[in-house]
Amino acid sequence: MSTAWRVLICDSIDKIGVEILTKAGMIVDYQPEISFEKLQSLVNGYDVLVVRSRTTVSKEVIEKGNSLKVIARVGVGLDNIDTNYAKSKNIEVINAQEAAINAVSELVIGSMISLARLIPFAHSELSKGNWIKKSLIGTELSGKYLGIVGVGNIGRNVGRIARALRMNIIGYDIYPISREYINEVGMINADLNTLVESSDFITIHVPLSSDTYHLFDGDLLSRMKKSSYLINTSRGGIVDETALYDLLKDQKIAGAGLDVFEVEPPVDKKFLEMPNVLCTPHIGAQTKEAQELAARVIAEKLIHKFQEASV
Ligand code: NAD
């Protein structure tokens, strides 16, 4: 019989993940507040590292983890893990891609409606005693064009919900989008410039990489319609924040919904002072359901990996 894996959990995860792993006989060390320095001194001897987005699994950490077999991300984005270096050391990197689909999609729809109907601004004014009903003329989603950049798991689900709200869907992806999905939501498949120039709302769902860093640069952003909104729940570095701020300040676009920032938490509070910008603190996957599902998916994947390694 193989020796049980030693699992170091470095970020807070739903307790179901710890329960499943412990029941399966793994030796689980739950240290959700572990510092980067402590992680480096402790990592040696563990077979598995489990992280969310707080912990950076850099080359230095991987180098010190002589027994590491798997690095597991309880979530989607892998940009806090040096995946290339892990691969070079034969360490597998896994994630829970499927867990956040609903949570992020619903935040996108919520942000679009909030911006289009000026809900946060209306609330904030009323809380100051200002009944400004006459000036709060919003816009409706129905009949508008939604541009989806990155038609993967989340992008596709956003398209389905938006279709149910009677929006028209435009999609762009570097890989071909399935004919079945195009037919399902009546998607117009366009190049990126056309999508940006034609959409009333744009939602970004591509991963952060050297290819997508500042994909939405000053040039692309300036192609947006004056009446259009940009929603980013993907990663901060994908949008050039300075260029976006300038466009918003000069009222060259209608507004933006930002769940992610290039530096988190943002040092610069400039977006928070704008009435047409809705900022949230990276809460895309922060639902009870998504957190539980992510922890469960990762625990089950790890048990499967352990069984595979044991035969
Ligand atoms: P996914 O891998 O299913 O989809 C990503 C899509 O982007 C793919 O179809 C891919 O082909 C496409 N793509 C990649 N590079 C592209 C480019 N240069 N131009 C156009 N398309 C490109 O991923 P997903 O599950 O839909 O998640 C998308 C992203 O959402 C994640 O990478 C993550 O960064 C982010 N995310 C954020 C939160 C949050 O809390 N806000 C939660 C989960 C995921």
Condensed to tens digits (0 to 9), the pLDDT of residues 205-238 reads: 999 999 999 999 999 999 999 999 999 999 999 9
Residues 6+ apart with CB under 8 A from 164: none
Cα separation of 289 and 103, whole Å? 8
Of 235, 241, 262, 296, the catalytic one is 235
**Position 79 pLDDT exceeds 70:** yes
The yes-or-no answer on residue 223 being catalytic is no
- Position 124 confidence tier, pLDDT thresholds 50, 70, 90: very high
The yes-or-no answer on residue 262 being catalytic is no
Using a 6 Å CB cutoff, which residues line ligand 1?
76-77, 97, 100, 104, 149-155, 172-175, 205-208, 211-212, 215, 233-235, 259-260, 282, 284-285
**Position 2 pLDDT exceeds 80:** no
**Ligand 1 atom 41, closest CA:** 284
Cα of 172 from ligand 1 centre, angstroms: 12
Angle at 176 between CA 173 and CA 180, to 5 degrees: 110
Looking at residue 39, its pLDDT comes to 96
Taking residue 266's Cβ as centre, other Cβ atoms within 10 Å add up to 17
Q: What is the mean pLDDT of residues 250-279?
A: 95
Q: pLDDT of 292-310, one tens digit each?
A: 999 999 999 999 999 999 8
Q: What is the mean pLDDT of residues 186-207?
A: 98
Pick the closest to residue 257 from 197, 202, 199 (CA basis): 202
**Beta-bridge partners for 6:** 27
Looking at residue 246, its pLDDT comes to 98
pLDDT > 70: percent of the chain: 100
Q: For the chain, give the mean pLDDT.
A: 96
Lowest mean pLDDT, pick from 106-110, 265-269, 283-287: 265-269
Cα of 150 from ligand 1 centre, angstroms: 6
Q: How far is CA 103 from CA 59, 94, 100, 261, 285, in A?
A: 31, 20, 5, 18, 5
Which residue do the tokens 């040096």 mark? 82
Q: What is the mean pLDDT of residues 41-49?
A: 97
**Amino acid identity for residue 179 in this structure:** R
> Exposed, middle or buried: residue 134 (CB in 10 Å: 0-12, 13-18, 19+)?
exposed
Q: What is the mean pLDDT of residues 28-46?
A: 96
**Position 121 pLDDT exceeds 70:** yes
Looking at residue 1, its pLDDT comes to 55
Which atom of ligand 1 lies closest to the CA of 211? 18
Cα of 283 from ligand 1 centre, angstroms: 16
The yes-or-no answer on residue 214 being catalytic is no
